[in-house]
Structure 1
Amino acid sequence: MALERLKRFAQGFLPTPAEAAAIRWRTPAVVDRGRIGEARVALDRHGRGVLLWENAGKLWTMPMGPGASPALMRLPFGEGTTPRLAVNPEGRGLAIWLADGEDERQILGAVLGPGEGPGRGMFRTVGRIHQLQVAVDRRGNALVAWVHERVGQIEVMAHAFNTRGEAWDEEPVLLGLPGDPSASPQLAANRREHAMVVWEAQNSVFEGLMACHYWPADRIWSDRPVPVVAHAARHHQVAMDDSGNALALWVHAPYGQRSLLEASFYEALHGEWSEPVVLASAHVMSSPRLVMNGDGEALAAWSQRENAGVSRLLVKAFKGRAWEPGAECLDHGHEPVQDYAIDLAEDGRAGFVVVQRGAAGDQVSVRIREDGWSLPRTMGSAPGSVCAAPRIALSPQGASLIWIQGEGEGRSLVLTDSH
């Protein structure tokens, strides 16, 4: 009996494959209504975390996890838009967001947890800010990246937060000048403080993806970007494992030719990107997603379509520093896909949520992968209306799923989590 109890404790709250999509989800609940903006959810390894969202220019937060989610305890977080959230497996986290003043815009940040204070300003500008992102390491140190657009110049910028003294660096760092506001920098970081930012560059000298690396020992960024691939690469994604190895994923669409989904592997030991490999080819390729855990396991997902055919969502696994053969189709039926999200937990469990449009309205469904992908389970629907912005967060002992339902001032933020 004692051995069985020990086994159950070691397994935590993980469901068996047959249960994964069948019985572990709570009934979806509406968290908030109104002019719902962007929302983010993040969990630690114990399934505890936080939900952060915007409603009509004000930010709200809610604790997640055992004993917290059913209460739906909304707490005001301040004024702002574009919330971003990062929580590490140990439960340390940081929230950042944008706030408008009379003649400027600024980025604010706040450490999450008991006794959290008001947001501190970390960057001010009269220009515009795009592609705001944040990542935290095991100590709770954070990196923030964004595109700064001002008259005559586009900049990729980064800023660091140090838990020692709970202070931001004096000034943000300029990583590069991509020349295009759609440069879309992607921030990847691991628990051991390594990080990189990858963005699209297009000028008279170079077209492709550039990467800038962060050196944690010196808390500095590399003095010049290095090329990842030297041809047009759109909709790129990047992710990193705990050894500092990384994957980049993008769409290469040569004029008049089939679109290609390509990937490259960065080996931290040698500091080099591999030659690109083609993962898939189709008439139309779009919406790539990439997730990676600390052990170096990864999942790539994307949408592809042949001519006037139906778009399909596919997923391909990366393990042992190599892509596994074949890809699996994860959507179901022939309803058009509106949006989707994926996540990958530390223990290798994966989750996939998709919004599909039917004749009676949008529908949200989820699949969980353990030994294999479960059958899709319908989590919610919007008869005669729409669903949008699905997000899923997984940990070894929990899972949370959110989406936005409805339109205009009648939107609802919907939450469900496992138990």
Structure 2
Amino acid sequence: MSSESDVIIIGAGAAGLSAAKELGQLGLTYTLVEASHRIGGRVYSEEIAPGVWFDLGCAWLAGGATNPFVAIADELGITLGKDKSNLYKEKNHRFQRNGASLNKDQRAACLRFYDDSYKAISATAKQGHDVAISDVVDLDNEFAIPFLCNVAVAWGKDIDLVSTADFANATGELGFPVLHGFGNLVAAWGADVVVSLNTCVERIDWSGHRVTVGTPKGVIAGRTALITVSTGILAYGDILFTPGLPDWKTEAIHGLPMGTETKIGVYFDADVFGADGRGYYSTWNDDGNAAKVDASVMGLNTATVFVGGRHGVWLEKRGQQACHNFAVDRIADIFGNDIRKHVNRSIVTAWSTDPWTRGSWACPLPGQAYQRANLQRPVDERLFFAGEATVYGGQGTCHGAYQSGIRAAKQIASKLNVKP
């Protein structure tokens, strides 16, 4: 491990990797450390069956063709589901209530309620009010249950904890899925970056002329530090800062708590969906059980069930078998109980208890959306910050983190008087 660098980068997710690449192009030296055994952060793929990949974290190139990872995937020869993106558009979602598809009139009413809710959120934000989404939508509407589920999945928090201002600034459509895993795409793109894995940062001392970073493998010194870890790690106090961070920075961290999206991938030993069954579903029962389901959109014998917010955290705490049972029940609500005999295996995420993230992504509390800008601000021109939590527009996305790393690298270069 290098004893001194221009920049010490903490975290080898998309932000840390893009910063490292940009710093290298600018002629600056860096030391990149990662607590986990792998790169990619919250973008990670595992095989659910031989040759069949499941994304435990980010799974779509949000924004479609404008996403920088589209060009990266093309350059690396990695297949994207560009022809599948329409299935993810909300107007093409399929709705199942109490095990039955909505009829034409019900579907129109449901989509109208969604549209009215989005307009109410947008209007509130445009008026300069940053309140909870629950304050501006009709919770008594008969289609409130799937809408609440939608928000919890997309933001990792329930609507009483989601900011209207932040929601209104979101990227929008899900975009393109990655056939062989978004995590594998990021791992391939970042493979040329030198990273010290299994190197957990315990303390950052910025009291002297240099910044020093303490790890179990030793102390690293640098002119600056770039911190890309999640707000969950920062809020929990896993890293000790000396001196402590200023109040405005800690307030930003605590104003951007981590949300949780729980994903359960289920693999079947046969095609239980049929060509007509493939699509993106909202399924719910009037007792409140609700989920989003990606049913074989990529043409594989897999389905992914999504829940978020308190429900997602609750399921994760109940364990893998409870998550598996919930997912199979929701898929059976759509395709019938016969699918149960074809279930082969499942994969369950547990981001809320992951020691290196403590959640899926940052979700500002109502009234706190402005804290993204404060989280981004450097401290003493020596501690810099990047990651999806620092971004407007691409918040909660891999490409948002990627862009924030490049932005931070350029900030640091400017501070160190390096010309591009």
Per the TM superposition, whether the score is higher than 0.5 is no
Q: Give 1 or 2: higher strand fraction.
A: 1
* Pairwise TM-score range, normalised by the shorter structure: under 0.3
Q: TM-score, normalised by structure 1?
A: 0.26
